Amino acid sequence: MCGIVGFTGTQQAAPVLLEGLKKLEYRGYDSAGVAVMDKDRIAVSKVTGRIASLCEKTGQGKAVPGTTGVGHTRWATHGAPTEENAHPHLSNDGKFAIVHNGIIENYLELREELTGRGYHFESQTDTEVIVHLIEMYYRGSVREALIRTTNRLQGSYALGVICTEEPEKIFAVREASPLILGIGVGENFFASDVTALVSYTRNVIYLEDGEYAELTPDSVRVFDCSGRILDKEISRVTWDVRAAEKGGYAHFMLKEIMEQPGAVKATIEPRLKNGKVVFDELGMTEKDLRSIRKIVITACGSAYYAGCSGKYVLESLCRIPVEVELASELRYSDPLIDSHTLLIVISQSGETADTIAALKEGRERGAKTLAIVNVLGSSIAKLAGMTVYTWAGPEIAVATTKGFTTQLVVLYLLAVYFADLQGLAASVYAQLIASLQALPRQIQQAIDMNPSIPELAGKYHGSSSLFFIGRNTDYAVALEGALKMKEISYLHAEAYAAGELKHGTIALIEEHTPVIALCCNWTIMEKTMNNIVEVKARGAEVLALSFRGNQKILSAADDFLFIPDTDPLFSAVTEIIPLQLLAYYTALENGCDIDKPKNLAKSVTVE
């Protein structure tokens, strides 16, 4: 959701900025722009729509001279996606250009004040107040003007600024919105995430809330709000540049689906040592665990569904009550959370605004907090008391796949770890470890054993509604399967707990209504099979998802998806694979923009 980049060096800035913006496209946007310092003036180019149009407008950036600049992709919040509202925004005197991620909550009162002082507004954005404040406070030092400006702002921001008075510099500051500095040789950068930086440098500084940065081609200085220089650690990005490229696949989503055996392996392997689950990053003792009376899991979207699935595993292995709450609800619910609560927050991006707010709420109430996060150095990773990384590598497609399955696997590992702290029989423990170790191979099998998915997508892609049903963990997977279908194929898809059908939903089942029935839980298989019979009696077309060896299902349904024999506790991670592929091929049939579905953003940094 919005992306910013900044560059200062000796090569032409605009092509570098455009390359960076292309890498941020996956975050979601509807307009884009760059501002480049050209001698003593700032040249701005903006477009609505795709970066490709901005590249065309600027001759791939070559038509824009200058070696210092900032760029932006905007996902409209305040004001429609028009050129006027696209960033960068200029000050009235033309000396400053800014790009901004986030939302300024008090912009209306600031706008009124600035209008009263004679400042003229070109856009409807909240952002524009910032550039006029900077102009108003400027007395010869951009850094000082920036500090005075940010003192007036309420909300979230990652800001990039250039100024004609200090033409080789780019300035940056962040508050509750991601911003990373890239340290090059004779050139320096900033960006909303590392994917925009890795083709230029792997040395990065993660800026923290309330920190300001001043970059020239040869220097990077970071300050706090009193102007004191901070000694920041330079981190090295270890993943390969190719990890953020399509590598021959038609879409990032397909590539990321196929990467799941490796991603899950990368999540599990470092946590298994000598046949035991180890979490060096937690440092939890049996006594700590005994003080926990309940676990609350909170997250948004797919991460929330990972939590719904994890609840069954945690409760089953640890016998600790687990509540799962949407972060957007928890933050406003006066939750029953205290120092005896373990609050687990789950987030691929680590930047989801609602999840951050729920985490802060939990901290304030004294809960122990544990974050399951993919993006290194992200806000949630830093805010939580304990952080467990999923190590899935960069996830570029907006619809999460490997992000989700690695979150599931961390929850499984945690459940086994906690159960062991409480005392597990050696034979049970050994069996669980063996089941975990088998998952990467079983995920690969789940990919391989469903060659009919493109054909099934051909059959179902024109449906007006699809229903996903299941019980317990099957139900949690049904929720995620339906979300995948909705977000990328734009088909209406709903998930129901199979036992709930009779209480209303069955009224919607008619001739040829597709029902995707998840039957991967042996203990309640018969119950879901009964539901299959019920919907078939009303004319539904049933696509059943079950274990390869389940003979009974073959006579009950019309079409089939299979998973290998997976430990039923952990089967969600194999079950979701065919559903991801079904959503992918259905979206392909429907000609959708699979990696960048309409209206969606990868990292939802606004409420």
Known catalytic residues are 2, 602
Least distance to ligand F6R, CB of residue 88, Å: 26
Region for 591 from its dihedrals, namely left if φ exceeds 0, alpha if ψ lies in -120 to 50, beta otherwise:
left
- Kindly state the tokens that stand for 292: 């926990």
Cα-Cα-Cα-Cα dihedral sign, residues 233, 238, 241, 247: negative
x/- string (CB under 6 A) for ligand F6R, residues 350-379?
Answer: --x--x------------------------
- Kindly state the tokens that stand for 88: 């960068």
Distance CA 248, CA 303 (A): 28
489 binds ligand F6R, rule: CB under 6 A: no
Distance CA 359, CA 350 (A): 11
Closest CA to 380 of 341, 347, 332, 405: 347
Segment interacting with ligand F6R (CB under 6 A) among 20-28, 140-148, 294-302, 460-468: 294-302
Nearer to ligand F6R, 54 or 604 (CB): 604
Considering only 17, 194, 303, 556, the residue that binds ligand F6R (CB under 6 A) is: 303
Segment interacting with ligand F6R (CB under 6 A) among 297-305, 381-389, 470-478, 493-501: 297-305
348 binds ligand F6R, rule: CB under 6 A: yes
Distance CA 176, CA 206 (A): 13
Angstrom distances, CA of residue 110 to CA of 93, 136, 137: 18, 12, 13
394 binds ligand F6R, rule: CB under 6 A: no
405 binds ligand F6R, rule: CB under 6 A: no
Residues 568-607 that bind ligand F6R (CB under 6 A): 603-604
Region for 388 from its dihedrals, namely left if φ exceeds 0, alpha if ψ lies in -120 to 50, beta otherwise:
beta
SS3 496: strand
Instruction: Give the distance, in angstroms, between the CA of residue 103 and the centroid of all CA atoms in the same chain.
Output: 18
Distance CA 509, CA 507 (A): 6
Instruction: Give the distance, in angstroms, between the CA of residue 603 and the centroid of all CA atoms in the same chain.
Output: 5
Nearer to ligand F6R, 133 or 587 (CB): 587
Nearer to ligand F6R, 298 or 513 (CB): 298
Distance CA 428, CA 335 (A): 35
Distance CA 387, CA 372 (A): 6
The residue number whose beta carbon is nearest to ligand F6R equals: 301
Residue 509 β-bridge partners = none
Considering only 85, 125, 347, 473, the residue that binds ligand F6R (CB under 6 A) is: 347
Contact yes or no for 279/421 (Cβ under 8 A): no
Least distance to ligand F6R, CB of residue 178, Å: 11
341 binds ligand F6R, rule: CB under 6 A: no
Nearer to ligand F6R, 77 or 216 (CB): 77
177 binds ligand F6R, rule: CB under 6 A: no
Distance CA 466, CA 491 (A): 8
Nearer to ligand F6R, 43 or 299 (CB): 299
Segment interacting with ligand F6R (CB under 6 A) among 54-62, 86-94, 342-350, 530-538: 342-350
Segment interacting with ligand F6R (CB under 6 A) among 54-62, 130-138, 349-357, 515-523: 349-357
301 binds ligand F6R, rule: CB under 6 A: yes
Considering only 220, 344, 381, 399, the residue that binds ligand F6R (CB under 6 A) is: 399
300 binds ligand F6R, rule: CB under 6 A: yes
Distance CA 352, CA 350 (A): 6
Nearer to ligand F6R, 127 or 348 (CB): 348
Applying CB under 6 A, the residues found at the interface with ligand F6R are 300-303, 347-349, 352, 355, 399-400, 483, 487, 603-604
